[in-house]
Structure 1
Amino acid sequence: MTTWFRTYYEDEDLWLYFEADDEGWAARQVEVRGQDSRPVSAASLEEVLHLRDHADLAALGRYERQYGVLAEAVLDGWQDQPQAAEISADEFERLWVEARRILGVSG
């Protein structure tokens, strides 16, 4: 079952929003700076896998510079992280669309 949740990374003042698949891997991830609510990443596992399988390392590097890097571990224990909470699919989708719009323009 897909889950959507957020956690807060205090050391970096970042809100991390995840769409996790039924095995607990990040399918999509958005990071938003707490200070100014500006998105700093919006990465998708599907896009990363497509680039890995159909492009070269340079293309993957460009993607990561523009959209950031996706979490590379199972997201177990997120409930124990600071300010962790489940969010709705709609809330995640709104954040995703806005982050991709902003990062797409600036990237």
Structure 2
Amino acid sequence: MRCHLDEEDIWFYFEVDAEGWVTRQVELQGPELAPIAAASLDEWQRAQDAGRLDEYDHRFGITAELPVSEWEGHDPETLTSDQFEEVWGPVRRQIASRPR
């Protein structure tokens, strides 16, 4: 799914599990769709367990902390898995290739 936050001109793309929790999230800002986040909940949890959460957050961001059913003021558009992957792959590679 995806939605747009007008105030900050950010597009959010989400992969959501069966219970409505965000498992992966991409954030793109402005008319140039500049990548600002490409976070995975599984990776975030592993980074937390390894004591490297600050490093992960700084580089990749975080996923939404509430399930989709609890969101207010968002009208997400449904995407296919392929549509999400088309965004996730390039954005993730771009963020991962940035110098630390």
Same fold (TM over 0.5): yes
- 1:13 is aligned to 9
CA distance in 2, matches of 1:6, 1:62: 26
Identity %: 36
- 1:51 is aligned to 47
The one-letter code of the counterpart of 2:8 is: E
Q: Which runs of 5+ in 1 are unaligned?
A: none
> What TM-score does the superposition give when structure 1 sets the normalisation length?
0.83
Structure 1 residues 35-64: Cα deviation after superposition (integer angstroms, max 9, x where no partner): 2112110000110111222x11xx211111
Question: What count of residue pairs does the alignment treat as equivalent?
Answer: 99
- 2:94 is aligned to 102
How far 1:93 moved relative to its partner?
0.7
Q: Which residue of 6, 21, 24 maps to 2:20?
A: 24
How far 1:96 moved relative to its partner?
0.7
> What TM-score does the superposition give when structure 2 sets the normalisation length?
0.89
How far 1:76 moved relative to its partner?
1.6
Matched residue of 2:83: which SS? helix
Q: Does the 8 A contact of 1:79 with 1:85 survive in 2? A: no
Q: Does the 8 A contact of 1:7 with 1:78 survive in 2? A: no
Q: Which runs of 5+ in 2 are unaligned?
A: none
Runs of 4+ in 1 over 3 A off after TM superposition: 77-80
- 1:91 is aligned to 83
How far 1:70 moved relative to its partner?
1.2
- 2:62 is aligned to 69
